[in-house]
Amino acid sequence: MTRETNPEKKAAVLRKKQKCRTGSWLGIAGLLLFLSLLPRCAWAESVLKVPDGTTVIQENAFYGDTSLYQVILPDGLTEIQSGAFAGSSVQCVVFPASLRYIADNAFTGCQGVLCLAPVTSTAYSYAAQHPEIFMLDTAQGWRQLISFPTAAEIAGFNSAGSSLAPYIAGWMHTGSVGRFLQYSIDFKADLVPPYTYCSLANFTLDYSALKSTYANVYTEAGIFGYAGLQYGAQGAVPNSILSFWDVYCVDNQGHTTKLQARQVYPEPGDDSTFGGEGEGVHCLVKYNWKPGNWYRMLLQCGVSPDTGNTTLEQWVRDLQTGVWTYLCKYDLGAPGVAMTDDTAVFLENFIADTAGDVRTMEVRNVRVFPESTYQWELITSGYFLQNFDHPGSYRYGTSGDTFWIITTGLSNKAGSLDPGSELEVTGGSGADPF
């Protein structure tokens, strides 16, 4: 079996070759322009612009400085030493890409600090590891959306382990196009504690071609498949996941045949089956996706040359590097299958040990490739709601071309909770995702 390294080769079967695009990141000049538009965090109160040529911020250099509000660090800075800004009042920091080391306690005692840094930088990774101090996202302003719980509140809630964080789903209106053969979505998560599932597609499969043979075709849970990215236990390599529920086909005599998707790539492991909410198969692949980075997930139907059945593949692209990764492939057990109906995204905490932590998720550029037109179509609306009524706080909404979600298991952190809302974004790209 040949392993393809670009899903465009598979898409060429469906239409002409498509052009690739690469991602980019906002430079320091762009960040400074953004700062100038902020209501308080730009040029207000005390602004410290560290002189050009500075390579090290010395130990305790601004320890306890209550006059600080915004700090702009110069290109060429490589190190921030112990306690450099600890206990200060700093609220905004512009970090350069040149930074290579930040002491673990450099910002101890600070809170709600807006971190502006290239997403591939040392500073961005540092901020992602210290959510009790930093707010990463420049577009959403997470700390303005909910009241962040303190580290002590989170620890106390997590130690009780009594409930999961709110489970928020957004049903994207992909069903308006009928059957579709490909699905693409862009995704980012800034705050990703252990035991987080960012599902990018809760999808339905149309097995109507079997209805000439069977009187009824169904799954136990009413679900056909999930696909997305996960963070498991602390320190474990994160992973992708693609799941298929077993399909039951009942003939006119009442006899039932079970169709189970067969993993074609990679070779299935011992944990390839699941139960609990119906039975099925899944594939988990180690994929070291990072907080704060944009990715693109692609689901792509094809035809098996061996069985003639429909296949479904999962790909992911790092939009910073442009690299596609081929994750897995399944034979769906029947020909003529396609995706159909509305497709959900959801943000889930699946083990209560980290339910108190704050989670975020953003999606944009939801695109489908309808069987009827063979042209990519942008989906700009969806219905968002809380499923399962887990206690806690949450908010969801839109910003330009992006849908966003934020949750914590602690209650009374987000005001009144929305029972469900129809949301629509503006803009976005409906172009080929390759």
Tokens 């939009």, located at residue: 319
The predicted structure's pLDDT at residue 136: 62
Q: Among 76, 122, 94, which Cα is nearest to 26's?
A: 94
Instruction: Indicate whether this model's pTM tops 0.85.
Output: no
Bridge partner residues of 217 (DSSP):
249
| DSSP code of residue 39 | S
Say if residues 405 and 347 touch (Cβ distance below 8 Å): yes
The predicted structure's pLDDT at residue 201: 98
327 token code pair: 């994750």
- Measured CA to CA, the distance from residue 191 to residue 219 in angstroms comes to 34
Q: Among 185, 200, 189, 227, which Cα is nearest to 364's?
A: 185
- Measured CA to CA, the distance from residue 401 to residue 29 in angstroms comes to 23
Tokens 């898409």, located at residue: 11
78 token code pair: 């490589």
Handedness of CA 206, 363, 157, 239 (dihedral sign): positive
212 three-state secondary structure = helix
The predicted structure's pLDDT at residue 6: 67
- Measured CA to CA, the distance from residue 70 to residue 46 in angstroms comes to 6
Show pLDDT as tens, one digit a residue, over the chain (434 residues): 334 456 766 555 444 333 332 233 334 444 444 444 343 333 334 568 888 899 999 999 999 998 887 788 888 999 999 999 999 988 778 888 899 999 999 999 998 787 777 767 888 888 888 877 886 654 456 777 888 887 778 889 999 988 999 999 999 999 999 999 999 999 999 888 889 999 999 999 999 999 889 999 999 888 899 999 999 988 789 999 999 999 999 999 999 999 999 999 998 877 799 988 889 999 999 999 988 789 999 999 999 999 999 999 999 999 989 999 999 999 999 999 999 999 999 999 999 999 998 899 999 999 999 999 999 999 999 999 999 889 999 999 998 899 999 999 999 999 888 889 999 999 899 889 99
The predicted structure's pLDDT at residue 360: 92
Domain positions in the chain are 28-136, 165-424
